[in-house]
Amino acid sequence: AQSVAQPEDQVNVAEGNPLTVKCTYSVSGNPYLFWYVQYPNRGLQFLLKYITGDNLVKGSYGFEAEFNKSQTSFHLKKPSALVSDSALYFCAVRDLNSGNTPLVFGKGTRLSVIA
C-alpha cells in the first residue's frame, strides 16, 4: 500500500524568509512523487515531480523539492517566500511497483506568507 503524510496543517513564514512544507511517504517499491498548489476556489496546479535522477527537483514559481530516500521524505522548499505563495499545498505519491493505480494525495498544508 502507498500513503503520504503532510504533518503540518499550517505553516506560517515571513515574506523573504525561506519556506519548507513537509511531506513523508510510504511505499513498498520506488516512489513517484508530486507537489501541487491550490489557490482559493481553484483547481490544483502541478508544481513539480520526482521519478528518478537528481534528488533535487526544480519546479514552477521558484519552488524545489528534495527527495530523501533514507528519510522517505519529499519536502517542498523555496529560498525566499512571497505573499503570493500563500495557498494550500498537496504532496502526492504513487508506488511504481503497484501497477496502474491513481496518485494518493496528502491532506494538504496551508501556507501563509506574512508581509
Partner 1 sequence: SQTIHQWPATLVQPVGSPLSLECTVEGTSNPNLYWYRQAAGRGLQLLFYSVGIGQISSEVPQNLSASRPQDRQFILSSKKLLLSDSGFYLCAWSRDEGDTQYFGPGTRLTVL
Rounded to whole angstroms, the Cα distance separating 5 from 25 reads: 6
Binding residues for partner 1, total number by CB under 8 A: 25
- When asked if residue 58 is in the footprint of partner 1 (CB under 8 A), the reply is no
Binding part of the chain for partner 1, among 21-29, 60-68, 76-84, 88-96 by CB under 8 A, reads 88-96
* Angle value at C-alpha 37, between 31 and 38, nearest 5 degrees: 135
Rounded to whole angstroms, the Cα distance separating 114 from 108 reads: 19
Rounded to whole angstroms, the Cα distance separating 88 from 102 reads: 21
Tell me, residue by residue from 18 to 47, as one string, x for binding to partner 1 by CB under 8 A and - for no binding: --------------x-x-x---xxxxxxx-
Residues engaged in binding partner 1 (CB under 8 A): 32, 34, 36, 40-46, 49, 88, 90, 92, 94, 96, 98, 100-103, 105-108
